Amino acid sequence: MPRRSATSPIARAKILAVDPNPHNPLAWRHVSVIKPNRVEAFASAGLPQEEPIDPPTEDTALLEVGRVLSEKWDADNLLITLGEQGVLLFRHDAPPYHAPTRAREVFDVSGAGDTVIALYTLALSAGATPAEAAEIANHASGVVVGKLGTATVTPAELLASFVE
């Protein structure tokens, strides 16, 4: 079977999601979404990490990291997870979008980033806008950090998180 790049017509019809590791810096380009956490984002951008500013949309260091990585990776969506600050979405066609955290109680953050990329990708696949997908992913992450150990979120739990 021939290898296809992320820019081939077949690949463009799919959502390609990447959770990067700055210790294994691959040249990600033209993928649907890349989701680093704050530490990974600063490391991947080659910039020194600074203390978070609230709100993230006014955090000049974080905004610069988003600009650098958006240019470097040329992804459709750059979604940086920010722990207790939620997520910040960067797109070429819109200003950064902040979805604040939805966690009520935090017991264990294991798997929170995996939940974000999984639900963000699922929501995009189902037709959500990138901002809607960020909100859905953020709600799901808020549910799983409220559980002990690596956890999952059920559809009922996700729906309930929007009502709380």
Which residues are known catalytic residues? 114
Task: Name, in order, each residue with C-beta under 8 angstroms of 54's C-beta and a sequence gap of 6 or more.
Answer: 85
Contacts of 42 (CB under 8 A, 6+ apart): 48, 49, 61, 65
Burial class (CB in 10 A: 0-12, 13-18, 19+), 111: middle
Contacts by 155-162, CB closer than 8 A, 24 or more apart: 158/119, 161/102
